[in-house]
Amino acid sequence: MKIFIETYGCQMNSYDSTAIIGILENAGHSIVKLPKDADAVLINTCSVRDHAEHKILSRIGSLRIKQRRANRPKQIIGICGCMAERLGKKLHEVSHRPDLIAGVDQYDQLPQLLENAVSGNVKVNVATGHMDDVHYVAPVEAYPVNNSHLVTIHKGCDYKCTYCIVPSTRGPQREKSPLMILDEIKNIVDQGGREVTLLGQNVTAYSAPGMNFAKLVQQVSKIKNLDRIRFLTSHPCDIDDELIDTIAELDSVCPWLHIPAQSGSDRVLKRMKRYYKVADYMRIIEQARKKIPDVTFSGDFIVGFPGETDEDFRQTVQLMRDVRYDQAFCFKYSERPGTPACKMTDDVPIEIKKERLAELLDVQEEVWQNITKDAVGEIWSVVVEGEARHSENSVKARSANNRKVIVDGTESQPGDLISVQITGSNGSSFLGKIVSAATMKGTADVNI
Ligand code: SF4
């Protein structure tokens, strides 16, 4: 069959979609670039917010309408990922009923589920449920650009943050073995990859016999010809001195930390069951700033969590200013069925949530403008990632500390290390002009 895969949500889903490509190709299917050319459309879904799930339901509806108009009655629609895991066979009851449903640990079943959907012999074409020892490996050749690769190192999460749906959609934390991770990365490097991002709901909690996350990173850094190691996402409770020292001491570990704060108020953090206080969080930021040259930060915030007062919100604004994040992903709280927060009274009116979100985004924009103003004139080393989307004769590139730069007037190729002078910014990217095209490929040595 010809299969089109559409991916929503986080990088874990991007990785899983690549793994799905491998499973389906091994079973003799092929992947196509447009839904209109497909015998089956698989949607890899996200459940993190109510809005994300509504988007999927309307996407199923619009695909069904297009199928009718184009007279493709036999085209199969399948739902994979977190929403499939959370809702399971209930998804068969939605108005534009999908033909198959595969939860996050059930992608090996996809060839069978597709066969069932074609034959129409199975009424409830659903596979869900968590499997402890199922870990996928995405095939290297399925990545469009071969110098940067995602590598999922574990799945699930053992924290129970009260707002979060992940423990029920992705299950408890289960580790891919260090051997499997190292083999996967060696294979990537053998096939020309130079950069990996270690992925997990909370990579910093990685724990295998004799191996915590810092030690895993140290092992990964020994792989010859691997130039850059990034990781996300982290939990403040699991970032220790050993990890900060590892980032500081190893050239190939990129100086960028994504540390979700969620709130700047101890009172709210307690209700979220985040197990740290703002002072603990700031200690990590200060330690990282002290020890890791050129370190940058990104983070996540939720505004309007049940019980959040104006004073709590002021403290969140203050944290945003104190940390000076390069990027902050901010969202209004939305109830997720089955989470502990769902039992709390969602007492912050939607209008207030919207106002707080707008204010926080304005503050982040102000922080970002100051960061970019300070950077103008500096010379950075960046690695080219591909053509820039909206500007001709330009490439997009990235510094080791995760700053995106659009570089004008260069024919540099993905993987090239080049020096650029920063001239300004545009949206969430810096703008730069080429100073020299480095001939070597190696760790971006950022001069900030
Ligand atoms: S640590 Fe992250 S993934 Fe785990 S429960 Fe908390 S918010 Fe969800």
> Which amino acid would we find at residue 284?
I
The residues pairing with 430 across neighbouring beta strands, listed in sequence order, are: 405, 425
- Nearest protein CA to atom 6 of ligand 1, as residue: 161
The reply to whether 153 and 122 lie within a common domain is no
The reply to whether 321 and 414 lie within a common domain is no
Instruction: Check pocket membership of 304 for ligand 1, CB cut-off 6 A.
Output: no
| 333 belongs to a structural domain | yes
Percent residues over pLDDT 90 in the chain: 82
The reply to whether 329 and 212 lie within a common domain is yes
The arrangement of strands across the sheet holding 30-31 comes to 30-31, 2-7, 40-45, 76-81, 100-102, 126-127
Helix (H) or strand (E) holding 198: strand 195-199
CA distance linking residue 170 with residue 16, whole number of Å: 12
The reply to whether 100 and 114 lie within a common domain is yes
Global pTM value: 0.92
Contacts with 352 (C-beta within 8 Å, 6 or more apart), sequence order: 304
Contacts with 176 (C-beta within 8 Å, 6 or more apart), sequence order: 135, 152, 153, 154, 155
Instruction: Check pocket membership of 161 for ligand 1, CB cut-off 6 A.
Output: yes
| 442 belongs to a structural domain | no
Kindly report, residue by residue over 405-430, the tens digit of the pLDDT: 999 888 888 888 999 999 999 888 99
How high is the pLDDT of residue 413?
87
**Ligand 1 atom closest to 164 (CA):** 8
The reply to whether 312 and 393 lie within a common domain is no
| 222 belongs to a structural domain | yes
Counting ligand 1 atoms within 8 A of each CB, the residue from 10, 82, 235 with the most, and so the one to mutate, is 235
Counting ligand 1 atoms within 8 A of each CB, the residue from 164, 269, 270, 273 with the most, and so the one to mutate, is 164
The reply to whether 122 and 262 lie within a common domain is no
Domain count, the chain: 3
- Residue 23, domain CATH: 3.40.50.12160
The reply to whether 403 and 268 lie within a common domain is no
The reply to whether 210 and 352 lie within a common domain is yes
How high is the pLDDT of residue 71?
87
Q: At 224, list the tokens.
A: 């010859």
The residues pairing with 387 across neighbouring beta strands, listed in sequence order, are: 395
User: Rounded mean pLDDT of 355-370?
Assistant: 97
Nearest CA-CA partner of 98 in 70, 143, 150, 61:
61
| 448 belongs to a structural domain | no
Nearest CA-CA partner of 104 in 35, 174, 1:
174
**Residue ranges making up the domain that contains 397:** 376-437
Kindly report, residue by residue over 171-206, the tens digit of the pLDDT: 999 999 999 999 999 999 999 899 999 999 999 999
Q: What is the DSSP string of 224-287?
A: TT--EEEEE---GGG--HHHHHHHHH-TTB-SEEE---B-S-HHHHHHHT----HHHHHHHHHH
The reply to whether 342 and 415 lie within a common domain is no
How high is the pLDDT of residue 142?
84
Domain boundary among 94, 127, 160: 127
The reply to whether 91 and 122 lie within a common domain is yes
The reply to whether 170 and 295 lie within a common domain is yes
In the predicted model, what is the mean pLDDT of the chain?
93
CA distance linking residue 323 with residue 344, whole number of Å: 30
| 295 belongs to a structural domain | yes
Ligand 1 centroid–CA 441 distance in Å is 36
Domain boundary among 350, 371, 392: 371
- Residue 321, domain CATH: 3.80.30.20
The reply to whether 175 and 270 lie within a common domain is yes
Q: Which residue has 């050129």 as its token pair?
A: 294
CA distance linking residue 65 with residue 49, whole number of Å: 25
Cα dihedral 302, 307, 310, 312, rounded to 10, equals: -60
